């Protein structure tokens, strides 16, 4: 018969990965983790639930001695997906849509 307390302590590293990793790079370099496990850890770190209230660009992960920059976590997720370390490009050139009545010739618009 198994003890529920014994089982919960065996699974603890999965639920508290910060106890074993000090940075997103350490998560990426752990060869014992699958790509999906790495994605789960990094995604959980990026979650708003760990956002520092006065500075949402930082994440305060339980068990870590310092906050981690969200940008570093997102960069690690991009590397995991095979992308480069550069942030995604911003939107393109803004485009002003013409109103249909503005395109009509002025003489035809007047009755």
Range of the domain at 77: 17-81
Residue 103 lies in a domain: no
Residue 97 lies in a domain: no
User: Confidence class of residue 108 from pLDDT cuts 50, 70 and 90?
Assistant: low
Residue 55 pLDDT: 93
Question: Hey, what are 96's tokens?
Answer: 């002003």
Structural domain count, the chain: 1
pTM comes to 0.60
CA distance 67 to 59: 5
Q: Is 14 exposed, middle or buried (0-12, 13-18, 19+ CB in 10 A)?
A: exposed
Residue with tokens 């305060």, as numbered in its chain: 60
CA distance 4 to 29: 32
CA distances from 31 to 28, 38, 78 (A): 8, 10, 18
Residue 26 lies in a domain: yes
Residue 57 lies in a domain: yes
Residue 94 lies in a domain: no
Tell me the pLDDT tens digit for each residue of 7-49: 444 444 445 555 678 899 999 999 999 999 999 999 999 998 8
């Amino acid at each position: 018969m198994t003890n529920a307390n014994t089982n919960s302590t065996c699974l603890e590293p999965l639920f508290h990965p910060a106890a074993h990793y000090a940075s997103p790079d350490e998560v990426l370099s752990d060869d014992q983790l699958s790509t999906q496990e790495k994605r789960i850890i990094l995604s959980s770190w990026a979650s708003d639930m760990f956002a520092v209230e006065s500075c949402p660009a930082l994440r305060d992960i339980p068990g870590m001695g310092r906050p981690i920059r969200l940008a570093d976590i997102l960069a690690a997720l991009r590397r995991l997906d095979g992308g480069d370390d550069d942030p995604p490009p911003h939107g393109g050139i803004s485009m002003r849509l013409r109103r249909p009545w503005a395109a009509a010739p002025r003489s035809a618009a007047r009755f």
